[in-house]
Amino acid sequence: MLGRGSGSRARKGFTRLKVAGAATVALACAVTGAQAMAAQTGSTASVGAPPVPSLTWSDCQGGFECADAAVPLDYREPQGRTITLAVIRKKAADQTKRKGTLFLQPGGPGNSGVDFVRGNHASLPAALRDSFDVFGYDVRGVARSSQVQCWDDQTYTQAITAAKGVPGPDAYEPAVRQAADFDQACQTNSGDLLPFVGTEYVARDIDLLRQALGEEQLTYYGRSFGSYIGTVYAALFPKRVRALALDGAYDPEHYANQPYAYDRPQYLALDGAMSRFLDWCKADQATCGFGDGDPRAAFEKLKADLDADPVTTPSGGKANGYTLVYRLLFNINEGKVIWPSLGEALRKAQQRDNTSFLLRPPSPASYDFLNPNVVVECVDKDYPGGKARLKREVTTNARLAPLLGPALAYGPPTYDHQHATACTQWTGEQVSRYDGSFRAKGSAPILVVGNTGDPDTPYQDAVALSRQLDNGRLLTFKAEGHTAFGRSACATDAVTGYLVDLKVPARGTTCADETQPPSATPKVAPPGTTLTELVNGVSDRLDRLGSLR
């Protein structure tokens, strides 16, 4: 709960699963969803539907209400042990005009849904705040909902400090050994929780929360990984969909069942975005200010120089070439509007100025995000076995994405790109993973949103999802950067109209209103952007929407 501390740092050191015991009950009744799932998996499940949580709301400051929700730890035993989820809402000011509850789901895996609602409610369009109680929660294994623990802060810091922006020719085998060590730490510290943090169980939690809130159908906005959670929900409960907006969408078939086919485009999309930034930097040296006419060569040299002689940070840590790549991985998601700021930060890094936001190593707050980020994907994804193929795929990704790819491919387990080495060696059960179908047959129209230049969730993923869904509709945003809602007035209006009034954009609708690079580094965030690194310092965990009000 928010009243008990700020973010999951208040829970640091809590590695045991927060569960409650309940008697397993056998009921003679009609086949339920839990029974059907048991029949599909061949497991022996307790008979009976899982109980709907009872939510006791209390004030948690700023007009928000918080509660705890008890849901089954294992849906094969719906009457068995429970796990407690932290939830939050802010009611519509005029309850007589409200249309229902809007679920907001952040990206990740690993971002806090409680923080997402609290941090973004004020920036939502008035039509959403007026029409809905806005609701969010920390999914199982994240933040206040029994945070999974693998490496501790010291181990993570050591691994990241030792990582390189330009790994050497012998980097592959150490990366595999390091990933195996990470996996073992997960099993040691959170083994009783790991099998149950996959997205099928998350989607089933959402359906219980929907019922607990008294909603007949689900109204939902999910960005990035939140789009995959929404996709799985629609697949499991298509008739319970009122409106799902899936922004920065995943190709679910590739993500779950062909993960190497999912990884490769993500590497290419990230390096493509970095390449386009460097092209702009060369074309507009006056605004960018980095590279002395050859930004690509300067960038490669900068990575190597920082590896050879790391910069001491204000806190006494060390920033090297890997630090630079790690920060670019996330900051380039802001799109063109941040390009002058990236140029300035690269120039500062070149000058060994430790005030550059690209020279800030990940903090312990980011480790709270990275631990579940790896774990959830290892539970969700079905990586094929075989170290020969793993080596071939990882080395190919590094070769095809030379700007940022090698550091990520051979680095410690952190964000999406570095999961293959850990997940191919994962030994835990995957009982909570969902493997399809993703058609959502019989659902209401589902809105899929994709950016043509998205560095994190490639545009072709959104196209693929819109085609896999029986009733999907694609909205295209021609832009750099990750996701569209809050960054494009056109896309924001379309998503809002869909969520509030069920107005589905016409087929082929395209938005092209990205904020262009300013002529100098902005001192404040332009409309439609957040520039969280510049405005708020390093925001390791909080997922923010842009504000277009």
353-400 tens-digit pLDDT: 999 999 999 888 889 999 999 999 999 999 998 899 999 999 999 999
Strand pairing class (318-319; 510-511): unpaired
Q: Rounded to whole angstroms, how far apart are CA atoms 456 and 451? A: 10
Beta bridge partners of 398: none
Mean pLDDT, residues 456-475 taken together: 98
Strand pairing class (65-72; 311-312): unpaired
Count the neighbouring beta carbons within 10 Å of the beta carbon of residue 162: 14
263 SS3 class: helix
Percent of residues, the chain, with pLDDT higher than 90: 83
pLDDT digits over 393-415, tens only? 999 999 999 999 999 999 999 99
Q: Which pLDDT belongs to residue 325?
A: 97
DSSP string, 265-283: HHHHHHHHHHHHHHHHHHH
In order of their start, the domains of the chain are 58-147+193-251+437-512 (3.40.50.1820), 153-191+255-424 (no CATH)
User: Could you check whether the bond before residue 227 is cis, i.e. omega within 30 degrees of 0?
Assistant: no
Q: Which pLDDT belongs to residue 19?
A: 54
- Residue 146 in this model has a pLDDT that exceeds 80: yes
Confidence of residue 127 (pLDDT cuts 50, 70, 90): very high
Q: Please give the angle made by the CA atoms of 292, 298 and 299, to the nearest 5 degrees.
A: 135
Q: Rounded to whole angstroms, how far apart are CA atoms 531 and 333? A: 10
How many CA atoms lie within 13 Å of 317's alpha carbon, on the beta-carbon side?
19
Q: Who has greater pLDDT, 523 or 385?
A: 385
Our separate counts of H helices and E strands in the chain read 20, 13
Q: Which pLDDT belongs to residue 518?
A: 87
Q: What is the pTM of this model?
A: 0.91
Which region holds residue 185: left if phi is over 0, alpha if psi is between -120 and 50, else beta? alpha
Handedness of CA 397, 177, 146, 114 (dihedral sign): negative
Q: By C-alpha distance, which of 500, 531, 535, 509 is closest to 518?
A: 531
Q: By C-alpha distance, which of 125, 132, 135, 127 is closest to 104?
A: 135
H or E stretch including 421?
Answer: helix 420-423
Alpha-helix runs per DSSP H in 424-516: 459-468, 489-501
Which region holds residue 415: left if phi is over 0, alpha if psi is between -120 and 50, else beta? beta
Rg (CA), the chain: 22
Count the neighbouring beta carbons within 10 Å of the beta carbon of residue 514: 24
